[in-house]
Structure 1
Amino acid sequence: MRDYDEVTDFLGDWGPFQRLIFALLSVSIFPNGFCGLSIVFVGDVPDHRCSIPANLNLSEAWMNRTIPLVPGDDPHYSKCSRYRLDVIVNLSETFPDPDLVNMSGVEQEPCLDGWEYSREQYISTIVSEWDLVCKNDWKGPFSMSVFFLGVLIGTFIAGQLSDRFGRKAVWFGTMAIQTGFTMIQVFSPNWEIFCLLNFFVGIGQISNYVAAFVIGSEVLGKSVRVIYSTLGVCISYAIGYMLLPLIAYFIRSWRMLLFTLSLPGLLYIPLWWFVPESPRWLLFKGRIREAEAIIQHIAKKNGITPPAVLFSELELEEMKSKSEITHTIIHLVKTSNIRAITMINFLIWMILSIEYYGLSLNTPNLNGDAYLNCFFSAAIEVPAYTTAWLLLQRFTRRFCLSGALFLGGSVLFFIQLVPSNLSVLTTTLVMVGKFVITSAFSMVYVYTAELYPTVVRNMGVGVSTMASRLGSIISPYFVYFGSYNEFLPFILMGGLTILSAILVFFLPETINSPLLETIDQMQNIKYFGFRTPCSIQHSSDKSEPAEKCDGH
């Protein structure tokens, strides 16, 4: 039986229809870039100190002395404690000049009257609105983790729904969830409701990214597939990410910022009438006539006359028999061969996500302006994706991915050796690490889509993305470790990334091989080796001479 690429070869790879789909799917990714990382500004922690009641009638000099100075390499005023106010009032009555008093013996107390927040950078964030500081400082990272937990659940559910009910329906459904719940989130009355809504935003956020990625991978020709996966959806994500600090710079209130970021989602409603369902998926669901209609529509848009008969009677019968076979997530771990590939993928995606989001969420903590740091962190993704595309054109998948991971991990692991007075060099190394890891993230999408067959491709990418979400759930706490030791997050992320570089070598090579179609074909793939024509041979082709199966 011919594979889908053979059947649709007459359509060409880069006609008017393919260009339109490439553009529409790519621009639909813009909101993912700024919605997924909006917490960088929405949940940032402004400078703060304990609030002092105005009715104490303290002089300005004594008001300035109510907050203890924390000694150390970087002396600063305490953010979570103050001197006992009854003692301060008594001292102010006895000593009008606070410089005459030794404050070292004065007892301290927590911020019983709340906090005062600097408005130099923000009008409001969720931290300043709900006092997510000091004993409640764990709630900031938790807000991010709840979002990524939603993404985890979303990718797990959406992957199976997409393989069962269609790529297009899940794509639009998850876009609607992301846009709708972001708008509702603007009206959150408290932190608990904000987290609950953030969970639902997460369900839709990356799920529609994966669905758009899979639609493009299956509708576009094989020569365009790598360009779409790198220069298409990935650069669109980076452009959306670059817009985030620009919008946040002019909108300093977190509620108005979220509302503004949610509006572009409404612009994608018309895409329903332009983007078709994946014909490849329809064929494997036995919906032959629908698939043929879409293929003929593509041919018409490209100005091509399609063959009178697309599929032979034998091919139609085989498709019908295959469509009766259902596939579940169990098929990704059913045999030792597929299970090994799935487990290695799982670990690689999780580690990649820890490093990618750990570096992205840490940008406000770097030296310099938070908005510029965020913009540079986003802008560096554009050349990173371009580099990934160029490398994938010239080298094997394993070499590209493993090399990128090893270089990124090494850069971050050795940041601790940079002298403290060379903060610019530290920031530069972080950006280099972000560049390399972003390239690796782009590569792993391409690689994973090529490893899994059509019948479970969306599920395979979805499970891999689910592993990525486990990493992203953990990543805020890697940033949190920086409050104990500024180099600890980089040491942990660097070491894990080098480990993932080693794991890549246990995956099969997929370069220059057509996409797999069935589970049986995937079972013949040997990990830690190259995929050969034999491994993708259809069962109906057993009469093919053996010499035609000689590998790469």
Structure 2
Amino acid sequence: MAEHLDKLLDRVGADGRYQKLLVFFFLGPINFFAGFMNNQLLFEVVVPEHWCHVPTPANTSLTAAQWRNITIPRTEGGQYSSCLMYDMVERQGSSSTSFTITNTTSPCQFGWDYDSAQFQATVATSFGWFCDRGSYSQHILAVTMAGNAAGSLFLPQLSDKYLGRRVMLLLTPALYVVFTVPSVFISLPIVHLALRFLAALVYPVCVSIPLILVVEVVKCEWRSLITGLCYITYTLGVSFTSLVAYLLPQWQVLALLSCLPHLLAPLYWWYVPESPRWLLSKGRTSECCRILQMISVINGRGEVSPQEMELLLSTKQDKAPHLHQVLRYPILRRRILRLFLLGGGLYISFGVVMMGINIMPSNYFLSLLLLTLIQLPGDAFSWVLAEFLGRRFTMIAAILIAAIFSFTATFCLHHELLLVVVTGVVRLALATCMQTLFVVVPELLPTPIRASGFGIYNTVNSATMVVSPYLVSPQLSAGFRYWCMLSFLVVSLVAVMTIPETVGLPLPQDFMEAEHLGSGRPLTTWIHHWNHHKYRNNKCPTPADWSQDTAKQDTEPLKSSSSVEAIS
């Protein structure tokens, strides 16, 4: 069925005007605004420097700074306390009222004042989430990551089995607006966090479904290029966030602005048709044929003959295998677990860099802008490096660079500009490795579980990023986050060492091919664009051979394990 559809796509055009319109006027804008939608949250949850509000007497001649100096105690580091104030004794005279400030302290009684030099309003300043409620801002980031993980798990399944891609394009923006707008006005922590979680459910689908819809109608040579375009437009959207937040430093405005692109989503309903591959998988062949006819006309290929359409109508669908069948294949099973370790370490580290924008406290906006602009070269060239230098070499080199500069960052904590440069290199290396891994994961998974397996991979990564907000907590030392990143990167480095090189290999069509993918390619050999033809994948064993290998493993477990691991 897939071969027949690919032939029809070649006939109607898989790289024509229709595909270019989708890429530049559909996929590009969606990824741009997805970057804005995801990263404006970083400005919402900033907790600025704050201290207790102490009412100023009406007859005082002291300035605000002088009044703060005598009413707010200092910490051991010489900073003003954020949660304590000196007690005052009021004395009522015959003609005036006097105040005596004691040496005893108490928690803030009249609210807080805060530094508004950069932000006019954040979630913390609007809702008074300081001191005993100071961790609520980190909770927002954590529940957002948890929502992303949950949405990656079940919403793609809902799209694949029931709703399709086109309905999701309309449903997910509507859900985001419905849950985001109330969160701007509700300060009750439990309700606010619940709304944040529900709004975060749809974010992964807002990014992945448009990409899937486009990839399913383009030729294979375009797929890596489209992935690079997605990363570039997303990063530009992140950079745009810094400009908007600088001009409009109020979290309510940023949250409501993130809803505006979603209100335009119904326009795509009229111009973007359903994926013909999904329609064919559901037996809706007549609708699939109509869309292919439309693509052919837009691409200037004319109408497809009824004889070619008959290929679709006469093809029977195979029963889809279950995801749990992967447990029957030991090498594939272990390889997937290593992908989880590799991706988890990378995503936690990237979350720390992304959320730790206070590396330049004097200017949050410039800090994030510099970090995202540094990432652009990685977005633009990582697919070139992976294609010519090999996937494994690119990932290993990127992880080593990220680890070295994470260690270097611990010595740059008191040099803002130097720390921005060092952390920017870490982000560049992490982005390069993550984008390369974005290509590798589908190349390792067999066709029957490629989409669902990739969704679970994203779920695990989003779940691990729940840890990141707490690693950048202001209650922890500044260097702690970088030591944690270094530890996670070491785990990722060990995991990537055992991932086979996939450059030049065809995609595995079934579980047996995926099980033996990379056999004949030693893990100690650098395989790249210019020599991969010398390391062809060994012939995949037949089911009978596999049964014999399994029986042999039962009798000689140690020997079998060592020989299999050598090629996995």
TM-score of the two chains, using structure 2 as the length reference: 0.83
1:43 offset after TM fit, Å? 1.0
* CA distance in structure 2 between the aligned counterparts of 1:48 and 1:310, rounded to whole angstroms: 70
* 1:46-72, Cα deviation, whole Å (9 max, x unpaired): 221111134596662565311112233
Q: Are residue 349 (structure 1) and residue 343 (structure 2) matched? A: yes
Does structure 2 retain, via aligned residues, the 8 Å contact 1:396–1:511?
A: yes
Q: Are residue 79 (structure 1) and residue 82 (structure 2) matched? A: yes
1:27 offset after TM fit, Å? 1.4
* 5+ residue gaps, structure 2: 93-97, 522-534, 544-566
* CA distance in structure 2 between the aligned counterparts of 1:472 and 1:2, rounded to whole angstroms: 36
Q: 1:39 to 1:211 in 2, by over 3 A?
A: same
> What code does the residue aligned with 1:69 have?
R
Aligned counterparts, 1:105-120, within 5 A: 106-120=103-117
* Equivalence for 1:194: 192
> What code does the residue aligned with 1:401 have?
M
What secondary structure does 2:301 align onto? coil
1:6 offset after TM fit, Å? 5.2
What secondary structure does 1:108 align onto? strand
What secondary structure does 1:65 align onto? helix
What secondary structure does 1:507 align onto? coil
Q: Which moved more, 1:465-474 or 1:404-413?
A: 404-413
Does structure 1 retain, via aligned residues, the 8 Å contact 2:50–2:112?
A: yes
Match of 1:37 among 39, 42, 59: 39
RMSD: 3.2
Q: 1:26 to 1:115 in 2, by over 3 A?
A: same
Identical counterparts, % of pairs: 25
* CA distance in structure 2 between the aligned counterparts of 1:491 and 1:297, rounded to whole angstroms: 55
Match of 2:496 among 504, 515, 533: 504
Q: Which moved more, 1:43-52 or 1:128-137?
A: 128-137
* Equivalence for 1:532: 537
* Equivalence for 1:265: 262
* CA distance in structure 2 between the aligned counterparts of 1:387 and 1:466, rounded to whole angstroms: 26
Match of 1:338 among 309, 332, 340: 332
> What code does the residue aligned with 1:25 have?
L
Aligned counterparts, 1:380-395, within 5 A: 380-395=374-389
* Equivalence for 2:207: 209
Does structure 1 retain, via aligned residues, the 8 Å contact 2:519–2:537?
A: no
Q: Which moved more, 1:45-54 or 1:160-169?
A: 160-169
> What code does the residue aligned with 1:223 have?
E
* Equivalence for 2:373: 379
Match of 1:146 among 143, 148, 153: 143
> What code does the residue aligned with 1:33 have?
G
TM-score of the two chains, using structure 1 as the length reference: 0.85
* CA distance in structure 2 between the aligned counterparts of 1:416 and 1:192, rounded to whole angstroms: 36
Aligned counterparts, 1:157-306, within 5 A: 157-165=154-162, 166-231=164-229, 233-305=230-302, 306=304
Does structure 1 retain, via aligned residues, the 8 Å contact 2:18–2:298?
A: yes
* Equivalence for 1:492: 484
Q: 1:327 to 1:55 in 2, by over 3 A?
A: farther
Q: Which moved more, 1:460-469 or 1:384-393?
A: 384-393
1:292 offset after TM fit, Å? 3.6
Q: Which moved more, 1:24-33 or 1:276-285?
A: 276-285
> What code does the residue aligned with 1:80 have?
C
1:502 offset after TM fit, Å? 2.8
Does structure 1 retain, via aligned residues, the 8 Å contact 2:502–2:518?
A: no
* Equivalence for 1:410: 404
Match of 1:70 among 71, 75, 83: 75
* 1:480-513, Cα deviation, whole Å (9 max, x unpaired): 1x64321110111122123213312323433234
Q: Are residue 47 (structure 1) and residue 44 (structure 2) matched? A: no
What secondary structure does 2:106 align onto? strand
1:533 offset after TM fit, Å? 8.4
Does structure 1 retain, via aligned residues, the 8 Å contact 2:246–2:365?
A: yes
1:381 offset after TM fit, Å? 2.7
* CA distance in structure 2 between the aligned counterparts of 1:177 and 1:298, rounded to whole angstroms: 30
> What code does the residue aligned with 2:537 have?
T
* Equivalence for 2:20: 19
* CA distance in structure 1 between the aligned counterparts of 2:331 and 2:407, rounded to whole angstroms: 33
1:219 offset after TM fit, Å? 2.0
Does structure 2 retain, via aligned residues, the 8 Å contact 1:50–1:80?
A: yes
Does structure 2 retain, via aligned residues, the 8 Å contact 1:403–1:501?
A: no
Q: 1:40 to 1:109 in 2, by over 3 A?
A: same
Q: 1:346 to 1:145 in 2, by over 3 A?
A: same
* Equivalence for 1:546: none
1:286 offset after TM fit, Å? 4.0
Does structure 2 retain, via aligned residues, the 8 Å contact 1:50–1:67?
A: yes
* CA distance in structure 1 between the aligned counterparts of 2:255 and 2:107, rounded to whole angstroms: 32
Q: 1:183 to 1:531 in 2, by over 3 A?
A: farther
